[in-house]
Structure 1
């Protein structure tokens, strides 16, 4: 003779399942997720370099064949001038757009959001050695690059 299955056993199992799922959710949202999204630890000297590196978008940059980003091939050193600032001194709007999607582990995605109108600036804090090639979206002949290296000191 078989014994009837108690609905209490199903209720207790369901309660245990709900408690287990709630515990997992609390752990995930309170501990795992914030830790996985946290920015990496970066030396204070890298976060606050001695000076910035200015790259100018020069007047007449919109004309193909003219100089555009000056310096065109910039070198930056961590702790010295790894805060790079692009300044639009042209009378036309431009962008600083990576040739390929590029991200810095601390500062996030590289590239200006939208256009830089005349007089606008875009700045990016590089926190690790890397090389980035970029261009102007509406004027693809405008190209430049930044090489970021560790300083020797």
Structure 2
């Protein structure tokens, strides 16, 4: 005959399991999670560029398919000088700024207007890394623009 299993063994096993789970939760919340959510270190000059913002205009009549949609159509902004970019909708129709391909800035997150930009409203994005982005208006896909973020030469 086999001897009955001791309830002490189950108790010790349960305690060991709880201690292991507790240690895992403490590690995850104290070390792993903050590290994975931390924003990268970015210089003060990039976070507060010399110019308040670089302006791109959605021109009046942009909804018409004539190729004059964003002014400038191909923009170049410089890190530490003009990397805080603002789109202003001067048209009488709502538009978007939607990247052709998803772009995530390491500091500022996902690029692209969070919905439509109503007439007179703006969308602003702080670029902290060099990149080239092609973008368009989602309701009016013939509206296309491009922005290049480059390192300052100074």
TM-score normalized with structure 1 length: 0.96
Matched, 1:80 2:81: yes
Distance of 1:127 and 1:46 partners within structure 2: 6
Deviation at 1:4?
4.4
* Gapped regions of structure 2 (runs ≥ 5): none
The separation in 1 between residues aligned to 2:141 and 2:20, in whole angstroms, is 55
3-state SS of paired residue (1:81): coil
* 1:33 partner SS: helix
CA distance in structure 2 between the aligned counterparts of 1:78 and 1:61, rounded to whole angstroms: 28
CA distance in 2, matches of 1:65, 1:141: 9
Instruction: Look up the SS of the partner of 1:87 in the other structure.
Output: strand
CA RMSD of aligned residues (A): 1.2
**Which residue of the partner structure matches residue 13 of structure 2?**
13
1:93 aligns with 2:60: no
* Count of aligned positions: 153
Q: Any stretches of 5+ residues in structure 1 without a counterpart?
A: none
- Map Cα deviations across residues 77-121 of structure 1 (whole Å, 9 max, x no partner): 100100000000011111001111111010000000111111000
Which residue is 1:144 aligned to?
145
Separation (CA, whole Å) in 1 of partners of 2:114 and 2:4 = 66
TM-score (norm 2): 0.95
